[in-house]
Amino acid sequence: MEPDYYDILGVAPTATNDEIKAAYRERARTMHPDKHQGDPRAEERFELINAAGGILKNPDKRAEYDKRRRATEVPPQPPKPEKPRATRHTQAPEHSDTSFWPGENSPMDDLFRGLVGKRPGSSRSSTGTGQAPAGKTNEPLSKPIPFAVTVEEAYGGAQRSYMVDQQGGCPDCHGAGVTNKGQTGFTVGPATCPTCRGKGTISRSEAVPVTVAPGVREGSLLRVRGKGVLQRDGKRGDLLFEVHLTPHNRFQIEGGDILVEVEVPYPVLVLGGDAEAPLPIGRTRLTVLPGTRHGSVLTIPGKGLPALGSHPAGQLRVQLGVEIPKRISEEERRLLEALSRFRERASATR
């Protein structure tokens, strides 16, 4: 099933765009992995938050998501009459305190288990990160796993890892759930396999290497071969990861283009000259023509995200602003005052 992005951000489906942006910023701030060090699921929950923000903050993507969401809604069924039954007192199960993790058996619990593995403190297993669902075989991974990528990683590439709960066939009973061998190794009658306890499968966690190629865009799919759902023939399908670029405090990404603001000294805008612009990795030189206005945008081809597949290299778009120094020397002050008086006289004679 597709994630309930509204539930992830804690907003109603009727929320305004400003409300969604505010909720996303708050979720991203409070659930950042740096604030939950030692929690093995923190980064995966953070990736879901970024995926929700990337969909709901974009009006076109949100509209498409709402259509899919409405199409999959199940109409409420009339309640069935309950039969009288005996009651008994049972002790409620205890769960670990896992902030931003839904309750057991809730729709969001199924979502998180389907995307990021087992719920902390739960013995129930995930089916969306490489585990074969019970009673189903030869199924591909239906939904890509949201995968957060920084702007620096999208620009220069990276080698990452992702923890998945893999479920494979039991090596002792070969998936049958029963064995003819006793604990001593001698052949006996059919009995429940002690290794898998009759399930035919065993679960193990595995760190899957994920290669982020330079030039990945928002929505790009990363494929890890042979680490998906276990097939009947013993082979595994592929894992798919959908890239979601994390917001950056300096750069904005539009397709393959990188947008950045750069302040340059006033004399450079007036007289022309050289300046520098930052890149996600490194810097590049700019040529500023004489008379360039504040707010002008310089476009540098090939300095955006690198080419990848059918996507050509993007552009670097630099918006120029006036650099206002916080402190100036006495000589600079005298020169600026003289320039100001000169401009006043020039204006008066026009």
Contact 255, 217 (CB under 8 A): yes
Round to the nearest angstrom and report the end-to-end CA distance of the chain: 71
Return the biggest CA–CA distance within the chain: 112
Contact 23, 118 (CB under 8 A): no
Q: Which class for 206: exposed (0-12), middle (13-18), buried (19 or more C-beta within 10 A)?
A: middle
Residue range 182-235, pLDDT digits in tens? 555 544 557 788 878 777 777 777 888 999 999 999 999 999 888 877 666 667
The rounded distance, in Å, linking the Cα atoms of 216 and 244 is: 10
Domains 1-70 and 252-348 share a fold: no
| Domain covering 120-247, topology | HSP40/DNAj peptide-binding domain (2.60.260)
Residue range 246-303, pLDDT digits in tens? 999 999 999 999 999 999 999 999 999 999 999 999 999 999 999 999 999 999 999 9
The pLDDT value recorded for residue 118 is 37
Asked whether the predicted pLDDT for residue 238 surpasses 70, the reply is yes
3-state secondary structure of 133: coil
The domain ranges of the chain are: 1-70, 120-247, 252-348
What angle separates helix 42-56 from helix 59-71, to the nearest 10 degrees? 100
CA 349 to chain centre: 61
The pLDDT value recorded for residue 109 is 44
The pLDDT value recorded for residue 282 is 95
pTM as predicted? 0.54
Tell me if the domain spanning 252-348 has CATH number 2.40.50.100. no
The pLDDT value recorded for residue 126 is 36
The DSSP H or E segment spanning 167 is strand 158-169
Contact 163, 205 (CB under 8 A): yes
The pLDDT value recorded for residue 262 is 95
Average pLDDT in the chain: 77
The rounded distance, in Å, linking the Cα atoms of 48 and 65 is: 15
The rounded distance, in Å, linking the Cα atoms of 273 and 289 is: 7
According to DSSP, the β-strands at 257-264 and 273-278 are: unpaired
Work out the pLDDT band at 116, boundaries 50, 70, 90. very low
Q: Over the Cα atoms of the chain, what is R_g?
A: 29
pLDDT above 90 covers what percent of the chain?
34
The rounded distance, in Å, linking the Cα atoms of 230 and 165 is: 12
Tell me if the domain spanning 1-70 has CATH number 3.30.530.20. no
Alpha-carbon torsion (213, 236, 39, 3), positive or negative: positive
| Six-digit token string for 314 | 């993007």
Closest CA to 28 of 2, 61, 54: 54
According to DSSP, the β-strands at 252-254 and 158-169 are: unpaired
The pLDDT value recorded for residue 71 is 75
Contact 283, 277 (CB under 8 A): yes
